[in-house]
């Protein structure tokens, strides 16, 4: 097979024969010349063909090529061999390929099912076509760079990567948000979090662990930031003194991830989305929840939730305050009340009504929850009972703490939310490869 050259590498090559392959963006079929804009996964280039429309018996191949180009439809996949020529007069990158041969790998239907102005739901119906847009390609290149930077930071800091099961015998937190499935003669649940399993690595002596993997929430929400299946970014570390240790790890990780995206894709993101990737300074601002309420009241907003947790509008206004006051896109909201948090969050030593926990807001939206965990089994049992849970249903989890476990803590973070907010997109649907929600299981 002839070696294929990616479009992004054409500019650095000397003039000469090249083979490129991709899909057709546009065809300009003029009387004496044809222009094809061909795009691959790295960019687009202009292909030129001197049109030959009449046969004299010696140029049948040229006529056939002209006819083939005339029949090309948007989205058709083709392979082109021709002469690369650098010409600053060419608006598209200052290069073009003069066609010598054309192979049509797959001809697309004449009428594309979606357009640039189609609704998000329509575009999701035809996601494989929607993903051809250059900005969508960039989303997932940036995501790849971001994830790679997170893994690199973890590995460089002696973390162990784990892969926890997504089938569970019992509920991890709230059965109300779990998908129940048939499992041979019994029932199983799809994991909404690797929480219990990443904690299990602490008595195992792993010390520091991380995972990037699917998670599932049976949450019938239709907001721009919710999904029933999403990618969860998780980490757990041993020997913490408080949630401050978890926050310090969390912010260093995000600095590394955003720096990598800015370095590799910053210019492209600016061109595609008019967004400047801002690498945050550490430490991030920290605001206790009670103080957050006072700040919001001073701005004329009362959080309506009875339990005192911030609602989306409260998160947005608090983030605006932080950006104005500290010039920061991130803020840790700390010291959540016991009633808001799950039973396994460690409580303040001097105030049992508060937990050693936090939510992390990014550009006005919560992206993560973290905490120091309660590692004393008797306290865990008491706190579970206080929450109305039956400790007998938690026996496998409670066993983790009966045979020695260090103080530990960690966080879970939604990858799609981070990408949505990083690129200032209106919905996680735009940055999810194949979105799953209450009314979407296809494609």
Total Cβ atoms within 10 A of residue 126: 14
Any binding-site annotation on 84? no
Residues of the chain by 3-state class (helix, strand, coil), percent to 5: 35, 25, 40
Any binding-site annotation on 414? yes
Rounded Cα distance, 169 and 167, in Å: 7
Any binding-site annotation on 320? no
- Cross-sheet strand order for the sheet of 186-190: 167-168, 186-190, 180-183
Bridge partners (DSSP) of residue 46 are 37, 96
Any binding-site annotation on 402? no
Residue 292 DSSP symbol: H
Q: Report CA-CA distances (Å) from 74 to 94, 138, 259.
A: 23, 21, 37
Any binding-site annotation on 373? yes
Any binding-site annotation on 415? yes
- Cross-sheet strand order for the sheet of 365-372: 160-161, 208-216, 229-238, 408-414, 365-372, 357-362, 330-334, 286-288
Any binding-site annotation on 417? yes
Any binding-site annotation on 127? no
DSSP symbols for 84-111: EEE-TT-TTTTEEEEEEEEEEEEPPPSS
Any binding-site annotation on 259? no
DSSP E strands, 179-294:
180-183, 186-190, 208-216, 229-238, 286-288
The residue behind tokens 């010039």 is: 327
**Per-residue buried b or exposed e for 294-305, using 16+ beta carbons within 10 Å of the residue's own CB:** ebbeeeebebee
Annotated binding site for L-aspartate: 173, 217, 369, 373
Annotated binding site: 173, 217, 366, 369, 373, 414-417
Annotated binding site for ATP: 366, 414-417
């Amino acid at each position: 097979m002839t070696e294929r050259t990616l479009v992004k590498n054409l500019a650095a090559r000397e003039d000469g024969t090249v083979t490129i392959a991709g899909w057709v963006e546009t065809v300009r079929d003029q009387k004496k010349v044809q222009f094809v804009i061909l795009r691959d996964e790295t960019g687009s280039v202009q292909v030129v063909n001197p049109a030959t429309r009449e046969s004299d018996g010696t140029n049948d191949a040229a006529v056939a090529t002209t006819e083939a180009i005339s029949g090309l439809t948007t989205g058709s996949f083709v392979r082109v061999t021709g002469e690369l020529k650098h010409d600053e007069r060419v608006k598209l990158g200052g290069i073009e390929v003069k066609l010598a041969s054309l192979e049509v790998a797959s001809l697309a239907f004449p009428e594309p099912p979606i357009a640039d102005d189609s609704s998000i739901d329509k575009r999701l119906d035809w996601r494989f076509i929607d993903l051809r847009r250059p900005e969508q390609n960039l989303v997932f290149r940036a995501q790849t760079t971001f994830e790679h930077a997170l893994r690199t930071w973890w590995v460089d800091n002696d973390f162990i990567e784990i892969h926890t099961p997504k089938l569970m015998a019992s509920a991890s937190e709230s059965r109300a948000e779990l998908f129940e499935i048939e499992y041979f003669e019994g029932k199983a649940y799809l994991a909404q979090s690797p929480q219990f399993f990443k904690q299990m690595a602490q008595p195992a002596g792993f010390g520091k662990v991380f995972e990037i993997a699917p998670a599932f929430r049976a949450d019938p929400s239709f907001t721009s930031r919710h999904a029933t299946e999403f990618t969860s970014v998780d980490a757990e570390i041993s020997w913490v003194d408080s949630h401050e240790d978890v926050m310090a790890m969390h912010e260093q990780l995000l600095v590394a991830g955003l720096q990598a995206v800015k370095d590799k894709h910053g210019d492209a993101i600016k061109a595609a989305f008019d967004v400047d990737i801002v690498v945050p300074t550490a430490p991030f601002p920290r605001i206790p929840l009670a103080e957050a309420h006072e700040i919001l009241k001073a701005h004329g907003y009362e959080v309506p939730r009875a339990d005192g947790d911030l609602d989306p509008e409260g998160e947005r206004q608090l983030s605006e305050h932080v950006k104005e006051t500290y010039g920061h896109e991130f803020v840790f909201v700390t010291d959540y009340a016991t009633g808001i948090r799950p039973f396994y969050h460690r409580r303040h030593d001097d105030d049992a009504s508060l937990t050693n926990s936090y939510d992390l807001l990014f550009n006005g939206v919560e992206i993560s929850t973290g905490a120091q965990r309660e590692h004393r089994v008797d306290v865990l049992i008491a706190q579970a009972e206080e929450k109305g849970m039956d400790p007998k249903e938690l026996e496998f989890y409670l066993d983790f703490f009966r045979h020695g476990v260090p103080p530990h803590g960690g966080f879970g973070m939604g990858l799609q939310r981070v990408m949505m907010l990083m690129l200032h997109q209106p919905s996680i649907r735009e940055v999810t490869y194949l979105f799953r929600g209450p009314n979407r299981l296809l494609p």
